C-alpha cells in the first residue's frame, strides 16, 4: 500500500525545483522520496541544519540601501545615532568580520 503526502509550496519554488530536478535526471516526487529515504538512513536530516550568520545587507538592492541611508540621515538629524567605533565593534561581533 502507498500513502500520499501533500505539501503546499510557493509556485516559484515548485517551478524552480521541478526544473532543477529535471536537469538532474529525476522529478520532484522522486527527489522527495530520496530525501525521506536518506532521513531514515541517517536517523535525521540528511544534511546539516544551522542558522546562517549572514550579512543582512548582502541581499539588498541599491535602491533599498539608499532608502536605509536616508532613514539613517533622518535619525542622525534627530540625535539618534551611535559612535562609529561602537557600531564597527558591534558589526564585527555580530557578523564575524
Span 5-51, pLDDT tens digits: 999 999 999 999 999 999 999 999 999 999 999 999 999 999 988 77
- Report the pLDDT value the prediction gives residue 39, as an integer from 0 to 100: 96
- Mean pLDDT, rounded, of the chain: 89
Q: Kindly state whether residues 34 and 73 are assigned to the same domain.
A: no
Q: Kindly state whether residues 2 and 44 are assigned to the same domain.
A: yes
Contacts of 53 (CB under 8 A, 6+ apart): 95, 96
Q: Kindly state whether residues 68 and 43 are assigned to the same domain.
A: no
Domain contains 73: yes
Q: How confident is the model at residue 53 (pLDDT cuts 50, 70, 90)?
A: low
Q: Kindly state whether residues 67 and 37 are assigned to the same domain.
A: no
The count of domains in the chain is 2
**What is the maximal distance between C-alpha atoms in the chain?**
69
* 70: containing domain: 62-95
Helices (H), 1-97: 11-23, 28-42, 62-77, 84-95
Domain contains 84: yes
Q: Kindly state whether residues 4 and 38 are assigned to the same domain.
A: yes
Q: Kindly state whether residues 37 and 1 are assigned to the same domain.
A: yes
- Report the pLDDT value the prediction gives residue 91, as an integer from 0 to 100: 85
CA dihedral sign, ordered 53, 55, 61, 63 = positive
Q: Of 13, 39, 18, nearest to 28 (Cα)?
A: 18
Q: What DSSP character marks residue 82?
A: -
* pTM, rounded to two decimals: 0.51
Retrieve residue 92's grid coordinates.
564585527
Q: Kindly state whether residues 37 and 3 are assigned to the same domain.
A: yes
Count of other CB atoms within 10 angstroms of residue 15: 11
Domain contains 69: yes
Q: Kindly state whether residues 26 and 68 are assigned to the same domain.
A: no
Amino acid at each position: 500500500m502507498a500513502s500520499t503526502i501533500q505539501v503546499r509550496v510557493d509556485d516559484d519554488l515548485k517551478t524552480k525545483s521541478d526544473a532543477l530536478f529535471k536537469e538532474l535526471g529525476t522529478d520532484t516526487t522522486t527527489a522527495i522520496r530520496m530525501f525521506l529515504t536518506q532521513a531514515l538512513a541517517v536517523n535525521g536530516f540528511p544534511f546539516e541544519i544551522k542558522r546562517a550568520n549572514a550579512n543582512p545587507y548582502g541581499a539588498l538592492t541599491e535602491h533599498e540601501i539608499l532608502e536605509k541611508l536616508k532613514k539613517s540621515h533622518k535619525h542622525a538629524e534627530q540625535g539618534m545615532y551611535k559612535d562609529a567605533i561602537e557600531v564597527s565593534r558591534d558589526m564585527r561581533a555580530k557578523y564575524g568580520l
